[in-house]
Chain A
Amino acid sequence: GENVEQHPSTLSVQEGDSAVIKCTYSDSASNYFPWYKQELGKRPQLIIDIRSNVGEKKDQRIAVTLNKTAKHFSLHITETQPEDSAVYFCAAGSNAGGTSYGKLTFGQGTILTVHP
């Protein structure tokens, strides 16, 4: 099946710094790549997603880049704030067949801590 690897597992930054989380996937049929943020004791919530026909997408301080050839995608958070502290999960899915058809395979998560 699809395999999604996520790095780093923990990331500690100072407020105002940038944070980058990277993921790689194995199934070339995967064409949908969301990022979820899960605060302690809360539900996972979508923060940004990208489809394989796009190389980059931005939403205010958050951006995602996708390299289909290398099968990797990254989350970039600029001007980090303490409220960005959470666990971030990348995922891969497909609406066009493959082992991730109709379902999301999640990475192992990154615990981001932003120090004031």
Chain B
Amino acid sequence: DTEVTQTPKHLVMGMTNKKSLKCEQHMGHRAMYWYKQKAKKPPELMFVYSYEKLSINESVPSRFSPECPNSSLLNLHLHALQPEDSALYLCASSLTWTDTGELFFGEGSRLTVL
């Protein structure tokens, strides 16, 4: 299994809603990532988890709250988002965090904030 699975594929939420994005991999990877991608732009790193611990937070606003319940799962909790947060949210995994290697991306969750 060389897949990173993300749910939901599409999400529409209001600015007062609370929702979560989920990501799962069963490749035994110990590093997991959240990226944000706007149309026609490169992925922007948000968070890195290594061995289930938060290793990098790229100064992301607190309305985005990551969680790594175990080595296979990664969540992104969303609360009080703004319309400018509308984007494709990509989860990725790699074997380890610091030993650079291939990032395996999920298909993404397309978020629209009304």
Contact A43 B107 (CB under 8 A): yes
Bits for A27-65, please: 1 = Cβ < 8 Å to B, else 0: 000011010100000111110010000000000000000
Q: Are A44 and B107 in touch, CB under 8 angstroms?
A: no
Knowing A89-B42, A103-B48, the reply to whether A43 touches B100 (Cβ < 8 A) is no
Count of chain B residues with a beta carbon within 8 Å of a chain A beta carbon = 22
Q: Which of chain B's residues have a CB closer than 8 A to the CB of A108?
A: 41-42
The minimal Cβ–Cβ distance linking B92 to chain A, given in whole angstroms, is: 8
Residue of B nearest to A32 (CB): B100
Main SS of chain B's interface residues?
loop
A103 pairs with B108, CB closer than 8 A: no
Interface centre among B48, B50, B100, B106 (most CB of A within 10 A): B100
Check: B90 CB closer than 8 A to any chain A CB.
yes
Complex interface residues of chain A between 50 and 97 (CB less than 8 A to chain B): 87, 89, 93-95
A residues near B (Cβ < 8 Å) are: 31-32, 34, 36, 42-46, 49, 87, 89, 93-95, 101-104, 106-109, 111
Task: List 15 additional contacts besides A34-B102, A87-B40, A102-B55; criterion CB under 8 Å.
Answer: A31-B100, A32-B101, A43-B108, A44-B103, A95-B98, A101-B98, A102-B56, A102-B100, A103-B45, A104-B45, A104-B103, A106-B44, A107-B42, A109-B40, A111-B40
